[in-house]
Amino acid sequence: DRGMLGWAVSGVDPSTEGIARAKEHYPHLSLHQGSAYDDLAALYGQFPVVTSLEVVEHVYDPRRYAATLFALVQPGGTAIVSTPYHGYWKNLALAITGRMDAHFTALWDHGHIKFWSIRTLSELLREAGFADIRFERVGRVPALAKSMIAIARRP
């Protein structure tokens, strides 16, 4: 089904409740319960573009996640990964303003367990086999960006 501006859209999420709610609102999409640790490419095939939005900061095994992402992207295709931005100047600003504990709270159930920088996320994607990795930051001040978006090509 190519009803979404010419795209066939598939989605995977570990939350059965989340998938059920999404299917109520978007019954024409192919939505499945699963995780980044499953062999998703064997189940659903490969895609020209794969997005992973605000996921990588929650995974226990980032290399396995990246391998799954790589397997899902067809050769010549693109992976788009977003995650909160954690660069030096942002972390320094959080520390100076006394907001470090609130930002990196350990009390958030199912919260962020990994905090990525451009360097560390680049390394993860490169190790998985991606090339031509570039980044965009989301926010008014690049050094204090809220999120970053990695765009990577599978050779």
6-64 pLDDT per residue, tens: 777 899 999 999 999 999 999 988 999 999 999 999 999 999 999 999 999 989 999 99
DSSP helix/strand/coil, 83 = strand
Q: How far apart are CA 103 and CA 75, in angstroms?
A: 38
Pick the more confident residue, 85 or 77.
77
CATH of domain 46-153: 3.40.50.150
H helix intervals, 45-132: 62-72, 88-96, 100-103, 118-128
What's residue 41's pLDDT?
A: 96
Instruction: Label residue 79 exposed, middle or buried (CB < 10 Å: 0-12, 13-18, 19+).
Output: buried
Q: How far apart are CA 65 and CA 83, in angstroms?
A: 14
Could you read off the pLDDT of 101-115 as tens digits, one per residue? Answer: 777 777 777 777 888
The percentage of residues in the chain with a pLDDT greater than 90, rounded to a whole number, is: 66
Q: How far apart are CA 43 and CA 90, in angstroms?
A: 39
Whether residue 89 is predicted with pLDDT greater than 60 in this model: the reply is: yes
Tell me the pLDDT band of 4, cut-offs 50, 70 and 90. Answer: low
User: Could you tell me the pTM of the whole model?
Assistant: 0.88
Q: How far apart are CA 80 and CA 102, in angstroms?
A: 28
The domain spans of the chain are: 1-34, 46-153
Instruction: Label residue 116 exposed, middle or buried (CB < 10 Å: 0-12, 13-18, 19+).
Output: buried
DSSP state of 48: E
What's residue 104's pLDDT?
A: 76
In the numeric block, which tokens belong to residue 66?
């990246």
State the average pLDDT over residues 114-139. 96
Residue pair 115/59 in contact (Cβ under 8 Å)? The answer is: no
What's residue 130's pLDDT?
A: 99
